[in-house]
A and B are shown apart, each in its own frame.
Chain A
Amino acid sequence: DIQMTQSPSTLSASVGDRVTITCRATQSINSWLAWYQQKPGKAPKLLIYKASSLESGVPSRFSGSGSGTEFTLTISSLQPDDFATYYCQQYNSFWTFGQGTKVEIK
């Protein structure tokens, strides 16, 4: 299996901050990477697919980049609704997730 490692595990930030989350794969996954947002008690929500494509309806403050083994999710200006846990997922081979990054209020 391809292992996905996210960093940091927890991130404390303020409204308006620029936030970056990193996801690394143990082998190349080309651009077959997605990012999800999950709030407590809710299902994950797709934000980014194919590493950098913004899902329809997702605010443009979210962006993704990377290819191969290293990827980033950036929130350009953190909003109150963005405090949540974020997961990366590779779908190059059997789908696996990172362990999650919790974005907390500073």
Chain B
Amino acid sequence: QVQLQESGPGLVKPSETLSLTCTVSDGSINSYSLSWFRQPPGKGLECIGYIYYGGTTTYNPSLKSRVTILLDTSKSQFSLKLRSVTAADTAVYYCARSGLTMAQENWGQGTLVTVSS
């Protein structure tokens, strides 16, 4: 069973950069797509962006100016950087992967990131 694990700071100051890494087990980094989602407390799911096998990225239009997703196949990791954060970016952040189904078959457990001074 593929496992994903998010890591990174749980507290980020306003105007700074949120940085998270997702580690993918068992070599499944070469998936159809690898993606980041977030869920503010008590609210629904939002896609931040995704990277296809081969390196093409697609970002949420509302976040595009602040987001970068990168892939490091040598470490079986992909990363998220979200710049100039505000309290509105406080959320549980999830990484996920899709394979043959093209939907998100495997998810990390999620990590709460709070934006606060």
Contact = CB atoms under 8 A, between A and B. Distances in A.
A44 B25 CA distance: 19
A38 B46 CA distance: 14
A63 interface: no
Interface residues of A, number: 24
B105 A46 contact: yes
Nearest to A100: B44
Contacts of B60: 94
Contact of A43 (B44, B46, B58, B94): B94
A36 B107 CA distance: 11
Interface stretch (B9-17, B69-77, B82-90, B96-104): B96-104
Nearest to B100: A49
A43 B45 contact: no
B101 A55 contact: yes
A97 B47 contact: yes
A69 interface: no
Interface string A65-106: 000000000000000000000010101001111111000000
B101 A49 contact: yes
Given A43-B108, A44-B45, A97-B46, A49 B58 contact: no
A55 B58 CA distance: 25
B103 A43 contact: no
A36 B61 CA distance: 23
Given A43-B94, A94-B61, A95-B50, A53 B101 contact: yes
A29 B74 CA distance: 35
19 contacts: A34-B101, A34-B103, A34-B104, A43-B107, A43-B109, A46-B101, A49-B102, A50-B102, A55-B101, A87-B44, A89-B104, A91-B102, A94-B58, A94-B60, A95-B47, A96-B47, A97-B47, A100-B44, A100-B45
